[in-house]
Amino acid sequence: MPKWRCLVCGYIHEGENPPEVCPLCGVGAEEFEKMEEEDNSQPKETVVAGKIEAAPSMDKESALKHSLFAISYGLFIVTAHADGVDNGQCANTCFQITSEPPQIAIGINKNNYTHQLITKSGKFGVSVLNQQGHDYARRFGYSSGRDVNKFEGLDNVHRGELGILLLDDCLTTMEAEVVGTLDAGTHTLFLGEVKNGEVLQKGEPMTYAYFRATR
């Protein structure tokens, strides 16, 4: 079965064609490259739980793309609420900017429904997945909120003080109000001031490398 690699986040998809949308970072099929079949006669670059072993030689373009795979990512469920509608998506870009005031940034693909709701409402939620969060990554990452209600049948959620649905079964949650944006081409970087935070569990956060190694 052919394999396709996302050039943005490194997600690997198996199938005759690349996915319409990357379930992790939200880019379209045009950002996937078909992976060459393994050739055991020569050493290849391998990625094992986040550890990258490079091939002895690589052209400049390939080296640039593969260098990005070494960046460590977390996995988060970013949620939004606007006009009476709730939606969420799996995202791998969420990081702290400042502690005073508490500010975080998230990167969201402009084609995603979550982007539309955040733009309308000016606020967003983040649920930090634990290492058992594989099903959440699939539920919120493998389909579009324009086509399905991702919260349907999901009981372990609660609505935060800003009115955004958040997961119960995760390490922590945050709600933020958008205070700035940066146009990043296919994505928007939303800068948010964190208004509420919860600590729900103890444990290790889910990373993209761990998700790939244990899926």
Judge if pTM exceeds 0.85: no
Note whether 165 and 139 are within 8 A (CB): no
25-39, 80-94, 124-138, 143-157: segment of lowest average pLDDT: 25-39
Token reading at 4: 């396709």
pLDDT at 54 over 80: no
Q: What architecture is the 76-207 domain classified under in CATH?
A: Roll (2.30)
For 63-102, the pLDDT digits (tens) are 777 777 777 789 999 999 999 999 999 999 999 999 999 9
Domain boundaries, given as residue ranges, for the chain: 3-68, 76-207
Note whether 74 and 166 are within 8 A (CB): no
pLDDT at 12 over 70: yes
**Secondary-structure class of domain 3-68 per CATH:** mainly beta
Q: What confidence score (pLDDT) does residue 188 get?
A: 97
Domains 3-68 and 76-207 in one fold? no
Angle at 193 between CA 68 and CA 159, to 5 degrees: 100
